[in-house]
Amino acid sequence: MENQSLRLKLRVWRQASSQAKGAFETYELAAVPVHASFLEMMDLLNEQLVREDKEPVAFDHDCREGICGMCSMYINGRAHGPQRGTTTCQLHMRHFRDGETITVEPFRAAAFPVLKDLAVNRSAFDRIQQAGGYVTVNTGNAPDGNAVPIPKTDADEAFMSAACIGCGACVAACKNASAMLFVSAKVSQYALLPQGQPEHRERVLSMVEAMDMEGFGHCTNTGACEAECPKGISVENIARLNRSYLAAQLSGGGTSAVATSD
């Protein structure tokens, strides 16, 4: 097992810039160790390309331990590849077969333009967070951390929502390229905590409005996002967002156009 390696054919999306037209290129790797991670396999490919004085494949990555959310890649038709609950950086080559052809594409969504090859621009996510993904509290004016008890079940549930790593797999997996799972996870985290209550209504309205403005698609409840989410963020968050959104609209707050879910 330790010395096993794979011979692989890679079909990789190459695109020089956002404006350029992209196409698949095929590469062969002769000996990929089975215990290497998918990104380490990409490192081997790049090392090979650099040695041949060719341009290496651009891809986003950083922590390589499944938490920063920087890595993306659409592998064999699935965001972050075939293993459930796993980011690309934590996907290991033992899940592939010798001789296999692997197709690697960028996350595709109108709101995530390709920067180069497999790297896409996900700054739309930051702008959605800036629209309300916070509690208004300046440094220094917080009460004691135990002043407001929070039931353990609420704290745990808020944590589950807060575990989102903002990678965008939910968008890439969705046929409508909807960002509802991402947005609802943040809205839910605060909705479940007493600290999030004062601004809850404004938050849900303005975050949904920002999401719509970024050009993400509508949610049609297929659940593909939950299935591909590397952190197991539940679609219950979307239900919670919809309830909050409706309540906020009925209570007359906000100016957002239409609810984005049906």
Partner 1 sequence: MDVNLINLDMKLDSKIPSGPLAERWKHYRSTVPLVSPANKRKLEVIVVGTGLAGASAAASLAELGYKVKTFCFQDSPRRAHSIAAQGGINAAKNYQNDGDSVYRLFYDTIKGGDYRAREANVHRLAEVSASIIDQCVAQGVPFARDYGGMLDNRSFGGTQVSRTFYARGQTGQQLLLGAYSALNRQISKKQIQSFTRHEMVELVIVDGKARGIIAKNLVTGELERHSAHAVVLASGGYGNVFYLSTNAMGSNVTAAWKAHRHGAMFGNPCFTQIHPTCLPQAGEYQSKLTLMSESLRNDGRVWVPSRVEDAQAIREGRLKASDLGEDRRDYFLERKYPAFGNLVPRDVASRAAKDVCDAGHGVAPTGLAVFLDFEDAIRRLGRSTISARYGNLFEMYEKITGDNPYETPMKIYPAVHYTMGGLWVDYELMTTIPGLYAIGEANFSDHGANRLGASALMQGLADGYFVLPYTIGAYLSSEIRHAAPSVDHPSFVEAEQRALDLQNRLLAIKGKRSAESFHRALGKIMWEYCGMARSAEGLRHALGLLESLHHEFWSDVLVPGSLNSYNPELDKAHRVADFIELGRLMVWDALTREESCGGHFRVEHQTPEGEALRHDEEFAFVSAWEYHGPDKDPVMHREALNFEEVHLTQRSYK
Q: Which of residues 91-110 bind partner 1 (CB under 8 A)?
A: 92, 94
Q: Of 29, 67, 213, 227, which lies in the binding site for partner 1, with binding defined by CB under 8 A?
A: 67
Closest to partner 1 by CB, 30 vs 63, is 63
Given the rule CB under 8 A, which of 101-109, 115-123, 213-221, 239-247 is the region that contacts partner 1? 115-123
The distance of closest approach from Cβ of residue 248 to partner 1 in the complex, given in angstroms and rounded to an integer, is 18
Spatial CA neighbour of 261 closest among 207, 180, 190, 154:
180
Question: Whole-angstrom Cα distance, residue 128 to residue 105?
Answer: 25
- Binder of partner 1 out of 20, 30, 110, 137 (CB under 8 A): 137
Figure out which of the listed residues 45, 73, 75, 131 binds partner 1, where binding follows CB under 8 A: 131
241 vs 261 by CB, closer to partner 1: 241
Token reading at 58? 């651009």
140 binds partner 1 (CB under 8 A): yes
CB of 131 or CB of 170, closer to partner 1: 131
Instruction: Count Cβ atoms below 10 Å from residue 232 Cβ, excluding itself.
Output: 12
Answer for which of 12, 45, 81, 90 binds partner 1 (CB under 8 A) is 90
Residue carrying the six token digits 């049906």? 262
Minimum CB distance to partner 1 smaller for 237 or for 261: 237
Q: Binding of partner 1 at residue 138 (CB under 8 A)?
A: yes
Q: Does 126 bind partner 1 (CB under 8 A)?
A: yes
Restricting to residues 20-39, which ones interact with partner 1 according to CB under 8 A?
33, 35-37, 39
Please choose, out of 21-29, 149-157, 169-177, 219-227, the segment that lies near partner 1 by the rule CB under 8 A.
Answer: 149-157
Query: Tokens representing 222?
Result: 């297929």
Q: What are 129's two structure tokens? A: 């967070």
Instruction: Work out which of 116, 200, 201, 240 binds partner 1, going by CB under 8 A.
Output: 116
What single string gives the DSSP state of each residue in the chain?
Answer: -TT-EEEEEEEEEE-SSSSSPPEEEEEEEEEEETTSBHHHHHHHHHHHHHHTT-PPPP---SSSSS-S-----EETTEET-SSTT--GGG-BGGGS-TT-EEEEE----TTS-EEETTEE--HHHHHHHHTT-S----TT-PPPTTSS---HHHHHHHHHHHT-----HHHHH-TT-B-HHHHHHHHHHHHTSGGGSTTHHHHHHHHHHHHHHTT-B-B----HHHHH-TT---THHHHHHHHHHHHHHHTT-----S-SB-
Does 165 contact partner 1 by CB under 8 A? yes
Task: Give min distance, CB of 67 to partner 1, in A.
Answer: 5
As measured in angstroms, the least distance from the Cβ of 262 to partner 1 is 29
Q: What residues between 176 and 235 interact with partner 1 by CB under 8 A?
A: 189-190, 193, 195-196
Looking at the Cβ atoms of 191 and 261, the one nearer to partner 1 is 191
